[in-house]
Amino acid sequence: VACALGYLDFRHDARQWRNGHPNLASWNEKIMELTALTKTIPTD
């Protein structure tokens, strides 16, 4: 789920999924602090 949401942020940020799903957005912010995920955030 975190990878899918990260992809939405990376490629489809204009959809602004966070606005309609505040609990999921909060969870995603917390889970993205994990080293295993921060090291794999795409940059291009």
For residue 36, what pLDDT is reported? 85
6-29: average pLDDT: 92
CA–CA separation, 4 vs 13, rounded Å?
Answer: 12
Mean pLDDT over each residue of the chain, to the nearest integer: 90
Interacting residues of 5 by C-beta distance below 8 A, sequence separation 6+: 17, 24, 28
Output 43 or 32, whichever has higher pLDDT: 32
Confidence at 41, pLDDT banded by 50, 70, 90: confident
For residue 38, what pLDDT is reported? 86
pLDDT for residue 43 is more than 90: no
